[in-house]
């Protein structure tokens, strides 16, 4: 069973924050009163008395750890919840744009500020657009998925013979290469969605009949760039607006096996 890290981080931050606040309001004044009583009983300035005063003022171990970790946890919570979040690509559904083992950065602010864990939008910044690479939680699993936005609310999406049409306009695919050349396993095309140029992989062997969807309000139609090897909106439905995580905008590291590599770093198109 996977750990709900946002919830874990929120709970840990809250616990350490409450302990820190309890120390400020209750325990620390009590320690100061005990030191004052100790000083009233003796004005001895010997090392032994000084050690006794330090022992009285020393925080309990739990409080000491809470004070140390709370600021760090709070900064991580704020950055991860409202600004940016790291994410590792677990599958090949976005090949060739994103490879298995790519570490990417997700802009949490791009589509609005949301409450951590609950996902409630506090205020809007922008809306997802056709061609964006978006991280979200799909309707059938409680895990992060990353796909490309193909349809926004109101769009009619048609997919036939591996060609996309959006609102009746066929999205042009420019042939790039067959890989491998002699007996191709897949074919590389350049495609433009919403003004965003990107490469896609299509299987050399599979075809498809006509499929059509109308994107309802508050939903988004998502597809992987590895078109015939992607579990996406064609199979499990559309991504809900209230389960959007953010917009993926950069690759900063690749680490699948062996040594980490920075050769694939760059902006995500």
Tens of pLDDT, residue by residue over 23-42, are: 999 988 888 888 777 777 76
Q: Please check whether residues 213 and 134 belong to one and the same domain.
A: yes
Q: Please check whether residues 57 and 97 belong to one and the same domain.
A: no
Active site residue 147: yes
Q: Is the Cβ–Cβ distance between 85 and 99 less than 8 Å?
A: no
Q: Please check whether residues 121 and 172 belong to one and the same domain.
A: yes
Give how many domains the chain has, as a whole number: 2
Task: Give per-residue burial for 198-214: e unless 16+ CB within 10 Å, then b.
Answer: bbbbbbeeeeeeeeebe
Average pLDDT, the chain: 89
Please count the other Cβ atoms lying within 10 Å of the Cβ belonging to residue 20: 19
Q: Please check whether residues 135 and 245 belong to one and the same domain.
A: yes
Q: What percent of the chain has pLDDT over 70?
A: 94
Q: What is the pLDDT of residue 7?
A: 82
Q: Please check whether residues 63 and 128 belong to one and the same domain.
A: no
Q: Please check whether residues 68 and 93 belong to one and the same domain.
A: no
Tokens 């980490």, residue? 260
Q: Please check whether residues 185 and 142 belong to one and the same domain.
A: yes
Q: What is the pLDDT of residue 119?
A: 73
Is pLDDT of 44 > 70?
no
Active site residue 165: no
Which of the listed residues 43, 62, 82 is the one where a domain comes to its end? 82
Q: What is the pLDDT of residue 1?
A: 39
Catalytic residue among 81, 147, 233, 247: 147
Q: Please check whether residues 61 and 170 belong to one and the same domain.
A: no
Structure-model confidence comparison of residues 40 and 156, the more confident one: 156
Q: Please check whether residues 146 and 218 belong to one and the same domain.
A: yes
For the ranges 13-17, 32-36, 133-137, 190-194, which has the lowest average pLDDT?
32-36
Q: What is the pLDDT of residue 239?
A: 97
pLDDT tens-place string over residues 97-111: 999 999 999 999 899
Which of the listed residues 37, 66, 82 is the one where a domain comes to its end? 82
Helices 28-41 and 47-57, axial angle in degrees (round to 10): 160
**pLDDT-based confidence at 18, cuts 50/70/90?**
very high
**Average pLDDT rounded to a whole number, residues 82-90:** 89
Q: Please check whether residues 142 and 53 belong to one and the same domain.
A: no
Q: What percent of the chain has pLDDT over 90?
A: 59
Residue 248 CB partners (closer than 8 Å, separation 6+): 87, 98, 104, 105, 106, 107, 133, 134, 135, 146, 268
Catalytic residue among 93, 230, 233, 247: 93
Is pLDDT of 208 > 70?
yes
CATH number at residue 179: 2.10.109.10
Q: Please check whether residues 32 and 115 belong to one and the same domain.
A: no
Query: Which of the listed ranges 6-10, 76-80, 87-91 does the model predict with the highest average pLDDT?
Result: 87-91
Query: Which of the listed ranges 25-34, 174-183, 218-227 does the model predict with the highest average pLDDT?
Result: 218-227
Q: Tokens standing for 265?
A: 């770093």
Q: Please check whether residues 78 and 93 belong to one and the same domain.
A: no
- Burial class, 266, CB count within 10 angstroms (exposed 0-12 / middle 13-18 / buried 19+): exposed
Q: Is the Cβ–Cβ distance between 91 and 100 less than 8 Å?
A: yes
Enclosing domain of residue 106: 89-267
**pLDDT-based confidence at 145, cuts 50/70/90?**
very high
Which of the listed residues 56, 82, 108 is the one where a domain comes to its end? 82
For the ranges 50-54, 179-183, 186-190, 212-216, which has the lowest average pLDDT?
50-54
């Amino acid at each position: 069973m996977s750990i709900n890290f946002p919830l874990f981080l929120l709970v840990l931050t809250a616990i350490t924050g409450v302990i820190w606040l309890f120390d400020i309001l209750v325990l620390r004044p009590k320690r100061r009163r005990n030191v004052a009583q100790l000083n009233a009983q003796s004005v001895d300035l010997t090392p032994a008395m000084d050690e006794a005063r330090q022992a009285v003022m020393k925080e309990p171990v739990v409080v000491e750890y809470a004070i140390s970790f709370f600021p760090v946890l709070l900064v991580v919570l704020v950055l991860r919840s409202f600004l940016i979040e790291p994410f590792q690509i677990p599958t090949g559904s976005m090949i060739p744009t994103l490879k298995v083992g790519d570490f990417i950065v997700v802009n949490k602010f791009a589509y609005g500020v949301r409450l951590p864990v609950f996902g409630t939008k506090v205020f809007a910044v922008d809306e997802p657009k056709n061609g964006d690479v978006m991280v979200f939680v799909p309707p059938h699993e409680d895990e992060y998925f990353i796909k490309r936005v193909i349809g926004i609310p109101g769009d009619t999406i048609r997919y036939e013979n591996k060609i996309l049409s959006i609102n009746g306009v066929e999205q042009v695919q420019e042939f790039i290469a067959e890989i491998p050349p002699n007996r191709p396993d897949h074919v590389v095309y350049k495609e433009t969605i919403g003004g965003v140029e990107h490469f896609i992989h299509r299987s050399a062997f599979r075809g498809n009949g006509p499929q059509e969807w109308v994107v309802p309000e508050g939903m988004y139609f998502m597809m992987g760039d590895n078109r015939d090897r992607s579990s996406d909106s064609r199979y499990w439905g559309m991504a809900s607006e209230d389960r959007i995580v953010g917009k993926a905008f950069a690759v900063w590291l690749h680490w699948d096996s062996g040594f980490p590599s920075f050769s694939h770093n760059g902006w995500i198109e």
